[in-house]
Amino acid sequence: MSAWHERRAHEIAGAVRTGAVSAVEVTRAFLERIDAVDGEVNAYTEVWRAEAEARAAAIDAKRDRGEALGALAGVPVALKALLCTTEGTTDCSSRMLKGFRSPYDATVVRRLRDADAVLPGKVNMDEFAMGSSTENSAIKKTRNPWNLDCVPGGSSGGSAASVAADECAFALGSDTGGSIRQPAALCGCVGVKPTYGRVSRYGLVAFASSLDQIGPLTKDVEDAALALNIICGRDPMDATSAAVPVPDFTASLTGEVKGLRIGLPKEYFTSQLGSEMREKVERAIAVLEEQGAETVEVSLPHTDHGVAVYYIISPAEASANLARFDGVRYGFRHPDAETVDDLYVLTKSDGFGTEVQRRIMLGTYVLSSGYYDAYYLKAQKVRALIRQDFDRAFAQCDVLVTPTSPTPAFRFGEKTDDPLEMYLSDIYTISANLAAIPGISVPCGLTSAGLPAGLQIMARHFDEATMLRVAHCYEQHRGFDPGKPPIARGAA
Ligand code: GLN
């Protein structure tokens, strides 16, 4: 029998509910695991040891009183550092918010608590979720459990690494342009970006409000369905959360894809995709065909503009959202300022890292008078075209299948001197955010260097159920066990 920290969330919750194991025992297993490996992985920025144990004990007491336990009974869930929690700090891995304590819980955090999950702490990320490698964190360098010399991806790199190294049962991340799916692909786990509006953003520190979504990073598709059942749904505290019924996602995992039409967008299979990644994705498509799915080539003609549009719209929104960090209201305040102007300049120059400053400048520029029409407005128009591409494609197929990332995990420093090169990590994931559709990444093999590759599946708005069904069917029939990274085997 495998150790508790290696188990899936659904197995843990089942065992805690029946009393086969106590929540305290499970929590201790994970805390020991964190002690054993996090010195190498550096996924956590804070571990809430006493709180997690107390919470587990309260769950056990509830069970002893004969009360029914929630769907995540005793399941340890790690939280990306931009989700507001009354426990610990919410620092977005930024100097600006070092030590910041939120007076309230994000809606997703409240829902996890209501489902009897245990919260072991906060995990690392690119500062304010800007990046694709977690190297933009002001706190620490998180390493990829599959190869400690490589990045875990980003911006939810701590979330992905903590799941891959068995330091939590699953984690929550956020995805503005790929930040759940890309690190999930690079760390060999499952990652879901739900439809925009599916999950409440209340208590998520905003990066780009028209693109941000919270979602789970898990060890399998069944756990992703379980997590989505808890976090999805309308929330009166977020006006953009949709009043669309949430189906039972677990029930949608039928194992059947017969007759489903899978679209293969030809713009995603160009020379930018390395041959090894292409071969893995093609093999995955063949698996789905063997299960009775039909494939059809489709076209998303505006794909090439995705990255450019994203790097106008997301910095524009970020420059507005980050204006609140001015040294007066939250977190860091520069001690040497003599005037208000000084206070702003010194606080922002010292409080924000280079990438965040770059985005604020880009955003301010594209929104400034004289440039607004040329950049921001034009980008919004192209965004509408990109969305239209997807509407047309989904008239021909039920889901789209593509690679998640053009490359597997890369080495530290490899892309830090060239922001454009880093931005291209998201060429396959950005469009789903621009079009507001759901996307999932599922492991589809290891490269010859032993690094995970990810398969992306995208679906129509609010059709996570079909997307999960395809992902689950693939996972059941892919014919290999993705295995554990070296760090999880204790070899690193
Ligand atoms: N890597 C992209 C960026 O740097 C996406 C980040 C995200 O999804 N939060 O903006």
At residue 61, the pLDDT reads 98
Catalytic residue among 22, 156, 179, 319: 179
Please name which of 429, 461, 476 lies closest in space to residue 290, comparing C-alpha atoms. 476
Relative to beta strand 121-123, strand 77-80 is parallel
**What pLDDT digit, counting tens, does each position of 127-183 carry?**
999 999 999 999 999 999 999 999 999 999 999 999 999 999 999 999 999 999 999
Q: What digits encode the pLDDT tens for the residues 68-107?
A: 999 999 999 999 999 999 999 999 999 999 999 999 999 9
Strand, coil or helix: 253: coil
Distance separating alpha carbons of residues 106 and 111, to the nearest angstrom: 9
Q: Active-site residue 179, yes or no? A: yes
Answer left, alpha or beta for residue 318, where phi above 0 means left and psi between -120 and 50 means alpha: alpha
At residue 490, the pLDDT reads 55
Give the residue-averaged pLDDT of 269-290: 94
- Could you tell me the pLDDT band of residue 272, with boundaries at 50, 70 and 90? confident
Q: Which residue from 124, 133, 196, 426 has its CB within 8 A of the most atoms of ligand 1, so it is best to mutate?
A: 426
**Beta carbons of 172 and 447 less than 8 angstroms apart:** no
pTM value? 0.98
Domain boundary assignment for the chain: 4-301+389-489, 305-381
Distance 318 CA to ligand 1 centre (A): 11
The atom of ligand 1 lying closest to the CA of 359 is 10
Catalytic residue check, 155? yes
Q: Which residues line ligand 1 (CB under 6 A)?
A: 129-132, 155, 175-179, 207, 314, 426
SS3 of residue 372 by DSSP: helix
- pLDDT value of position 2: 86
Which tokens hold the place of 240? 């953009």
pLDDT band at 274 (very low <50, low <70, confident <90, very high): confident
Rounded to the nearest integer, the mean pLDDT of the chain is: 96
pLDDT tens digits, one per residue of 290-329: 999 999 999 999 999 999 999 999 999 999 999 999 999 8
Residue 487's pLDDT band (boundaries 50, 70, 90)? confident
Given a cut of 90, is residue 491 above it in pLDDT? Answer: no
| Cβ atoms of residues 148 and 472 within 8 Å | no
Whether 316 contacts 383, CB under 8 Å? no
Question: Is 280 a residue of the active site?
Answer: no
Give the architecture (CATH level 2) of 4-301+389-489: Alpha-Beta Complex (3.90)
From 83, 159, 179, the mutation candidate for ligand 1 (largest count of ligand atoms within 8 A of CB) is 179
Distance 196 CA to ligand 1 centre (A): 15
Structure tokens at 213: 């979504």
What digits encode the pLDDT tens for the residues 100-123? 999 999 999 999 999 999 999 999
Query: If residue 261 lies in a helix (H) or strand (E), which one and from where to where?
Result: strand 261-265
Q: What is the pLDDT of residue 492?
A: 40
Residue range 410-459, pLDDT digits in tens: 999 999 998 888 988 899 999 999 999 999 999 999 999 999 999 999 99
Ligand 1 centroid – CA 36 distance (Å): 30
